[in-house]
Amino acid sequence: MQNPNPNNFGIAPDIDPHQYDSWNAFAANLGYVFWAAAFLIALGYFIRLNSIGGNKEKYDFINKHEIKWLWTATIVFVIGLCCYGNASIENMNAVLFFVRAFVTIAFGLIVALIIQNLLKFYYPFFIEKRLKLLRYKPRISPKTGKPMKLLSEEEEDAYLDEGMQAEENIFSVDYDVWFDEQSGYTQIEKYSGHLHAIQCPECNYQTFKVVKEEITKLPTATEEGEIIKHYQCGYCGYKAKKAVILKHHVSKFEHTAASA
């Protein structure tokens, strides 16, 4: 018996056009499941963030986890998008079944790449604004319940040991010292220095980081030192270097003796 001629789409007239209905229904439902999971991941992150009490703790949590959590939610969302899109084509044969699978996967990769670039190069601007608000929001003294004062770079040195001052000198760490003028209570907070990206002067993305530090002159008790900081943009590859003065080193013993 001669097989009937297939139509322009490669589907023979005697093939049931609804033979993949069960798969389409399953793929659509699977898409809903992945979308719900993506929503729950994002919701879980923000619930966890809002449950954190201190501003410093929130700062660290956002800085360390937010982009990772949102990227995970994005991957799950895109998988759901691929499943739902794969189920949208009704008339199908075995060959086109794999073709549409390839097309939806390729589409999903493109969408994921676009969102990844948004999270990597644009979203850090939004995060940076929130981090600055959290970092410089006045801390409340547990002793008096009143707002504390953020000390200047010169004032805070009296509350930092030599190791902390050395870390600040090479910009590997930045310390904030909050002081309660009424009770004398101090709160020291530690922030990463050169590991934190800044805005690139070439492409304007928040991807400009220190990749190398070179001390050209060590500070002494009487003279300042110098360090060369090498920057590189993680997006456009722009490189730059900057000379930074290292404050001269004065030990606590010498400081005490001078005061006496």
Cβ–Cβ contacts within 10 Å for residue 68, how many?
11
Alpha carbon distance 213, 243 (integer Å): 10
Q: Which of 247, 49, 47 is nearest to 153 (CA)?
A: 247
> Each residue's pLDDT tens digit in the chain (260 positions)?
445 555 544 444 445 556 677 888 898 999 999 999 999 999 999 999 999 989 999 999 999 999 999 999 999 999 999 999 888 766 555 567 778 888 889 999 999 999 999 998 889 889 989 999 999 999 999 999 999 999 998 888 888 887 887 777 766 678 999 999 999 999 999 988 655 677 889 988 878 888 887 878 877 777 888 888 888 988 898 999 888 777 665 444 344 333 33
CB 77 within 8 A of CB 35: yes
- DSSP lists the bridge partners of residue 217 as 226
- Name the strand (E) or helix (H) holding 231: strand 225-233
CB 108 within 8 A of CB 116: no
Could you tell me the strand order of the sheet in which 149-150 lies? 149-150, 173-179, 186-192
Handedness of CA 179, 183, 184, 187 (dihedral sign): negative
Q: Which of 160, 174, 132, 180 is nearest to 249 (CA)?
A: 160
- Statement: the pTM of the whole predicted model exceeds 0.85: no
Where exactly are the structural domains of the chain?
21-136, 138-194, 197-260
Cβ–Cβ contacts within 10 Å for residue 133, how many?
11
Q: Both tokens of residue 219?
A: 């500070």
Q: Which of 215, 232, 231 is nearest to 169 (CA)?
A: 215
